[in-house]
Amino acid sequence: MGSVFVRFYEAIIRLGEGLQSFLLLAMRLYWGYGFFQSGMGKFNNLPKIIEYFSSLNVPFPEANAYIVASFETIGGILLMIGLGSRLICIPLICILCVAYATAHIDALLNIFHDPETFISQSPFNFLVACLVVFCFGPGKFSIDYLLEKKKPNANNGAKS
């Protein structure tokens, strides 16, 4: 009887592992497109974004508006195609942390007292998606995966 449960559990594990790349693709496409839209929205409304950043006491609001819009736009495209996925997640995570520290400071300060407010803020899902891609990679349906497969192994180049 125990071996039936073991085989069933192993089958569940194989199913979950088989779905990983599909989940990572779905996350990258959805949230990458969200980043792209957000970045383009900032570019299309730069005066308002600069004014908003100024109201939040963000230093160098004009430069930061361009930087954030650029990283969101380009980062969204890179996430969607799965190129430099882990690398682009680093500045995106930083941008989202700054968003929490400025525009959503009350939610951040009350994270343990009122976690529902923290997770209901707009940066939360973007942050989770970036953390997942950063930690687990972009999956098999990405340019990163194709480039990694083409990369010669360190042992292949060594002479015997």
Task: Please indicate, yes or no, if residue 67 is contained in any of the structural domains.
Answer: yes
Q: What is the model's pTM?
A: 0.88
Task: Please indicate, yes or no, if residue 97 is contained in any of the structural domains.
Answer: yes
Task: Please indicate, yes or no, if residue 42 is contained in any of the structural domains.
Answer: yes
Domain count, the chain: 1
Task: Please indicate, yes or no, if residue 54 is contained in any of the structural domains.
Answer: yes
Which structural domain, as residue segments, surrounds residue 36? 21-149
Q: What is the pLDDT along the chain (160 residues), one digit of tens a residue?
A: 679 999 999 999 999 999 999 999 999 999 999 999 999 999 999 999 999 999 999 999 999 999 999 999 999 999 999 999 999 999 999 999 999 999 999 999 999 999 999 999 999 999 999 999 999 999 999 999 999 999 887 555 544 4
How does 39-74 read in b/e, with b if 16+ C-beta sit within 10 Å?
Answer: beebeeeeeebbebbeeeebeebeebbbebbebbbb
